[in-house]
Structure 1
Amino acid sequence: MRVVTEQSDRLARELDWNLLRTFMVIVQEGGITAAANRLLLKQPTVSNALKRLEDRLKKKLIDRGPTHFRVTDAGDHLYREVVEIYGSVARLTVSIRDIDDRIRGKVSIGLASHVTFPPFDETIRDFSARHPEVTYEATVATSAEVTSWVLEKRASFGICLVHKQHPKLTYRHLYRQHFGFFCGPDHRFFGQRDLALKDLAGEPSVSFSTDQLHDALRPVALLRTQLGWDDSLRATSPHLEEVRRMIISGVGIGPLPVHVVTRDVEDGLLWRLPPYEDAPEIDIYLVTNPAARLNRAEQYFIDDLMTRVAGIPLKDREYE
């Protein structure tokens, strides 16, 4: 039984469809010459095709001579199968033509709260314009939660800070941002340009919940510990908007991504404090799960984003 199966598999792989089609036309036309005329081929070519098919199948398909032409039982059976195959191929063209190439589906995005990356915004803009039937769900959480969603396949992908890479996930670097320390307009340091880092020691402060030595904001936590802010920490939040709100409101001084709050500094809502050089660097990654089965919208969006990112030199993706 195994030998028969192997022979059938080999025949399916090696059998030439053109031989089957030629045989079908020979039967339909009732002769080699008529078939050659229909196929616009020479008679020896058609005759040779029939012989090759019979040799391959090891069956006599047509009994023919100077005065007779008869399809054998094996030939009749093959003809009926070939007609069915030919019909399926013809229907395949129609079915493919009717497939809708429009991209639909939902793209579920997990985001850390301090993600400000113009190429990401541009990708959403262009992708949304090209594929108006795609929907989006963007949820903001801590970087650890975003990573968990991607691992559990609850998010198409995540954009977040990464402290330690998970072996089952894929990480692609998007950009690097620098964190600075800021105060609000009512703070006594607001507007002062001659401050040194030591002047900030012991000041009431606010920060991110992830501002820990064992978490993604470790470089910020190291500097905060150096300034003795562990004992003066008045408020925390995992979300940038809330940390920003508390700094502006005067609860304390705290860290924010420099390029994210440029407009706030220009508008007089925030004031940049030391250190002005060698500010803590934080890398942001696109996180995906190779085991997740993405829909076309999700995969195309990720491909578009990474193509855009690949076209931008790394130095232009580092925000001072």
Structure 2
Amino acid sequence: MTQSVRATLINDRLDWNLLRTFLVIAREESVSRAAAHLHITQPAVSHALKRLEEQLGRKLVQRNGPRIEITRAGDEVRELAEEIYGSISRLAGQSSAAERDVSGQVRLITVSGVQFPAYDEFLAAFHRDYPGIDIEVQVMRSADVPSALIQHTATAALSLNRNVGKKIEYRLFMPQRYALFCGRHHPLFGREGLTTADLLDENFVSFTGDQIGASLSPLTYFRDQHGFTGRVVASSASVAEVRRLMYAGFGIGCLPEHVGQAEVALGRMMRLPPAEGVADLDVMLLWPAHHKPRAAEAVFLQRMKAFAEEALRERGQ
């Protein structure tokens, strides 16, 4: 390989995109196939090849009708380009390994009851990849989440909030619908042919966030719109405690469908009408909009966003 070709390739004025295009041309031995591989037009590929030849002052290919043959200079350029890109790939691998050495602490806020098996597997994979990152998880009411993020006391949150203002960014993390259930110690348990009208006088077990204007207010709206007159006789901010109180027969109540259906499968609860459920209250991933995260936080947040995007894509949403 001539020193002049090497020197020209290493010159900082060389457009590396042209070199990448030439590598594809050389491998495909066809401008049209290179264009298809790169998802650009044939004229664009031809133009890139011409510009590279002009910058290097060498003829890199010899056209023979629709086919092309790589010249001796072209072989030299391809050899050195592959060497350069191989070095870049190795550096990228070293960088990836270095990222796995990141250490620090991540503080995650979550509402109770986020039961998502794929999320459990995500956390397991994250810990394998980044054993130096410690995670502190705090369970909190959705109403308290925005202020905690704005004060930068947490890296991110899994919450039911949507209207969070411009200081917080968010994306859908886990779709979920709430439905009505009763526990096996409730008088309605086991009765068949129930309608919504049969439930109007029943007392309720409620979430403390189930209030007008709060994140669970759609549950309140549902009761009001359908004329439920029973009292709220027990409440908690915890899904586990609401479930426990419902099982004990204090009243009927709303649970995320996946939580309630798991109890139904165990014979501990019964699904109540309406069949379509009560309201969609999705779990959102939230994070501060104008906060520069530390290395561990940045890695965790990046992986969480990628996981949420992939999970939704698998569901076709």
Category of TM-score, reference length = shorter chain: 0.5 to 0.7
Letter in 2 for 1:222: Y
Q: 1:172 offset after TM fit, Å?
A: 1.0
**Contact 1:109 1:156 (C-alpha < 8 Å) held by counterparts:** yes
> Matched residue pairs, number?
224
Match of 1:292 in 2: 291
**Contact 2:261 2:271 (C-alpha < 8 Å) held by counterparts:** no
Write the distance in 2 (CA, Å) between the matches of 1:274 and 1:315.
29
Correspondence 1:1-320 to 2 at 5 A: 101=99, 102-229=101-228, 231-313=230-312, 316=315
Q: Which runs of 5+ in 2 are unaligned?
A: 1-10, 13-93
Letter in 2 for 1:156: T
**Contact 2:162 2:284 (C-alpha < 8 Å) held by counterparts:** no
Write the distance in 2 (CA, Å) between the matches of 1:302 and 1:242.
30
Letter in 2 for 1:182: F
Quick one: percent identity of the two aligned structures?
Answer: 30
1:261-300, CA deviations, whole angstroms, 9 ceiling, x for partnerless residues? 3221111111111111153111221111022232222211
**Contact 1:119 1:308 (C-alpha < 8 Å) held by counterparts:** no
The secondary structure found in structure 2 opposite 1:312 is helix
Write the distance in 1 (CA, Å) between the matches of 2:142 and 2:316.
20
Letter in 2 for 1:144: A
Letter in 2 for 1:263: A
Residues 195/315 of structure 1: CA separation in 2 closer, same or farther (3 Å cut): farther
1:86-141, CA deviations, whole angstroms, 9 ceiling, x for partnerless residues? xxxxxxxxxx99x9650111110000113223333222110101111211110101
**Contact 2:166 2:289 (C-alpha < 8 Å) held by counterparts:** no
Residues 241/313 of structure 1: CA separation in 2 closer, same or farther (3 Å cut): closer
TM-score by length of 1: 0.64
Residues 176/100 of structure 1: CA separation in 2 closer, same or farther (3 Å cut): closer
Which structure has the larger Rg over C-alpha atoms? Answer: 1
Match of 2:23 in 1: none
1:36-89, CA deviations, whole angstroms, 9 ceiling, x for partnerless residues? xxxxxxxxxxxxxxxxxxxxxxxxxxxxxxxxxxxxxxxxxxxxxxxxxxxxxx
Residues 214/163 of structure 1: CA separation in 2 closer, same or farther (3 Å cut): farther
Question: Which shows bigger deviation, 125-134 or 224-233?
Answer: 224-233
Q: Which runs of 5+ in 1 are unaligned?
A: 1-15, 18-95
1:242-261, CA deviations, whole angstroms, 9 ceiling, x for partnerless residues? 11111001111111001123
Letter in 1 for 2:214: D
**Contact 1:119 1:309 (C-alpha < 8 Å) held by counterparts:** no
Letter in 2 for 1:260: V
Q: Note the aligned Cα RMSD (angstroms).
A: 2.5
